[in-house]
């Protein structure tokens, strides 16, 4: 079999590339997907008790008009629910509104003063120069008190790497910075300060979880253009040939890869060994999603919450989504059931005991006053993905500058959440647009924006 365009992976990037090819009138392409379903990390599962789960707390918001229009086309205007974000931090046995640093008035006087004192010290002696890593950036932005109270413990639980292993290039719109004047005013006038960031409102599918979006985009691409259970085992760039695990071979004119870049380089025959070795230096964390289906109704203080952050050491999870609040159809019977979805990161620097994770999670849910007892539990779901987050490590940009261009002389491009490893442009909208922009480049000669200019792409939010 021969195709002009071969796309490895049916996540948002691969589907975006294929959708744009078809939109341009090009049908000589195929998507190769190793699983028996499409969507990649943006898929959804229904467990044996009928509860729906995503692979993490996905929400739908966008920096791109093109993406918005495709989402409406995928599910229709009536296929979406719109939510006002309610995100909170659980600390010191209380909920503190997010952004945490703007709402330290909720904390004990001792902790509040520690955070404020750090900000005052930073105001008196501001950090000079450019932070060498994420740890330095945190201290230069939040001060010692906020760093030790929230930023250090929480970010280690999220990333599964110490902050000194990470760069600060990715931060952009992802982290709210601190304004001493604003924080002080909030304390003195007892003012709540909730709204920040590009996802202060967000959308979610009425039915089917996040996976429903991408199943429908797949239908727009055409099921005849997607080959499931097609695991790529090798790429011969000289012969322009892809080998599959079942023995089939497919030749191509141009190849788009979206599988993890470190794994992909191992499969490319004849690639400079130094390039392959360099790619192995990319860091990632794994994600454990645990879904807990529950009987009854959520406690009153959870009734409108979207997601919550957990910096403290008693819990394995760093974030919990009240998933039944996203859509009542995420549970079989919304009148008598609800659900919580937890996320726990994992890496060589932060191992997780898979045998005890479920029990540890349930124990922490009770300690954190989210559920009252195990008797409420109707369903337990656990999904682990080895590649959960592409870590923006201090070495990352140097690696990408060497590896990505080394593939292009062979007509091979690598894009997407793990194909290009740029966390700062790896949301669903970014990932889809990386695929769309790749198609525009190889077909129309239009330069790509999102991958190479993340700050510009993110600055387009709301425009």
Instruction: Quote the tokens at residue 368.
Output: 């954190």
Domain boundaries of the chain, sorted by first residue: 2-43+210-282+392-459, 101-172
pLDDT at res. 276: 98
pLDDT at res. 43: 97
**How far apart, in whole angstroms, are the C-alpha atoms of residue 231 and residue 386?**
16
Q: pTM score > 0.95 for this model?
A: no
**How far apart, in whole angstroms, are the C-alpha atoms of residue 291 and residue 285?**
19
Sign of the dihedral through C-alpha 187, 191, 195, 201? positive
Dihedral of the alpha carbons of 120, 123, 127, 129, in degrees to the nearest 10: 170
Q: Which residues of the chain have pLDDT under 50?
A: 173-174, 462-463
Cβ atoms 322, 306 nearer than 8 A: yes
**Residue 275: strand pairing partners:** none
pLDDT at res. 24: 98
Sign of the dihedral through C-alpha 36, 39, 41, 42? negative
**Residue 252: strand pairing partners:** 3
CA 325 to mean position of chain CA atoms: 20
Say what percent of the chain tops pLDDT 90: 84
Q: What is the pLDDT of residues 333-352, one digit of tens each?
A: 999 999 999 999 999 999 99
Q: Which runs of consecutive H residues, i.e. helices, occur in 289-414?
A: 323-326, 357-367, 396-407
Q: Do you know the residue count of the chain? A: 463
For residue 227, cis peptide bond before it (omega within 30 degrees of 0): no
**How far apart, in whole angstroms, are the C-alpha atoms of residue 15 and residue 221?**
7
pLDDT at res. 462: 45
**How far apart, in whole angstroms, are the C-alpha atoms of residue 339 and residue 325?**
8
Instruction: Quote the tokens at residue 438.
Output: 């790749």
pLDDT at res. 177: 57
Which of 251, 189, 226, 198 is closest to 85 using CA atoms?
198
What is the dotted CATH code of the domain comprising 2-43+210-282+392-459? 3.50.50.60
SS3 call for 97: strand
pLDDT at res. 243: 98
**How far apart, in whole angstroms, are the C-alpha atoms of residue 187 and residue 372?**
32
Query: ∠ at Cα 60 (59, 66), nearest 5°?
Result: 160
Which of 221, 205, 210 is closest to 10 using CA atoms?
221
Sign of the dihedral through C-alpha 232, 237, 240, 241? negative
Which of 167, 195, 242, 34 is closest to 99 using CA atoms?
195
Residue 316's φ and ψ, nearest 5 degrees, are -75, -25
Which of 273, 264, 275 is closest to 235 using CA atoms?
264
**How far apart, in whole angstroms, are the C-alpha atoms of residue 268 and residue 249?**
14
């Amino acid at each position: 079999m021969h195709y002009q365009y071969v796309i490895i992976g049916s996540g948002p990037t691969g589907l975006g590339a294929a959708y744009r090819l078809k939109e341009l009138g090009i049908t000589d392409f195929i998507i190769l997907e190793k699983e028996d379903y499409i969507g990649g990390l943006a898929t959804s599962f229904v467990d044996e008790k009928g509860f729906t789960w995503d692979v993490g707390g996905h929400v739908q918001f966008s920096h791109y008009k093109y993406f918005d229009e495709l989402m409406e086309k995928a599910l229709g205007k009536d296929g979406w629910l719109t939510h006002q974000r309610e995100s909170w931090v659980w600390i010191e046995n209380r909920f503190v509104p997010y952004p945490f640093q703007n709402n330290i008035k909720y904390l004990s006087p001792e902790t509040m003063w520690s955070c404020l004192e750090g900000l005052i010290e930073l105001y008196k002696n501001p950090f000079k120069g450019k932070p060498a890593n994420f740890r330095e950036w945190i201290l230069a932005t939040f001060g010692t008190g906020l760093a030790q109270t929230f930023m250090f413990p929480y970010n280690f639980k999220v990333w599964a790497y110490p902050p000194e292993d990470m760069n600060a290039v990715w931060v952009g719109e992802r982290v709210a910075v601190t304004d001493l004047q604003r924080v002080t005013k909030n304390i003195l006038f007892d003012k709540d300060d909730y709204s920040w960031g590009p996802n202060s409102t967000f959308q979610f599918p009425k039915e089917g979880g996040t996976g429903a979006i991408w199943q429908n985009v797949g239908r727009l691409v055409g099921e005849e253009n997607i080959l499931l259970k097609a695991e790529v085992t090798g790429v011969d760039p000289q012969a322009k040939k892809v080998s599959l695990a079942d023995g089939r071979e497919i030749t191509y004119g141009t190849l788009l890869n979206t599988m993890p870049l470190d794994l992909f380089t191992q499969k490319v025959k004849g690639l400079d060994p130094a390039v392959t070795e360099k790619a192995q230096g990319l860091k990632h964390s794994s994600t454990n999603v645990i879904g807990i289906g529950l009987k009854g109704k959520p406690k009153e203080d959870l009734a409108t919450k979207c997601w919550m952050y957990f910096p403290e050491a008693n819990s394995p999870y760093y974030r919990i989504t009240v998933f039944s609040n996203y859509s009542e159809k995420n549970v079989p019977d919304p009148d008598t059931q609800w659900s919580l979805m937890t996320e726990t990161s994992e890496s060589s620097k932060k191992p997780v005991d898979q045998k005890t994770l479920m029990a540890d999670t349930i124990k922490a849910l009770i300690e954190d006053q989210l559920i009252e007892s195990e008797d409420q539990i109707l369903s337990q779901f656990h999904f682990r993905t080895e590649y959960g987050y592409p870590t923006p490590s201090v070495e990352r940009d140097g690696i990408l500058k060497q590896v990505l261009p080394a593939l292009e002389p062979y007509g091979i491009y690598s894009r997407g959440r793990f194909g290009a490893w740029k966390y700062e442009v790896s949301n669903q909208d970014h990932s889809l647009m990386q695929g769309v922009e790749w198609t525009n480049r190889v077909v129309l000669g239009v330069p790509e924006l999102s991958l190479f200019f993340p700050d510009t792409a993110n600055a387009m939010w709301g425009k």
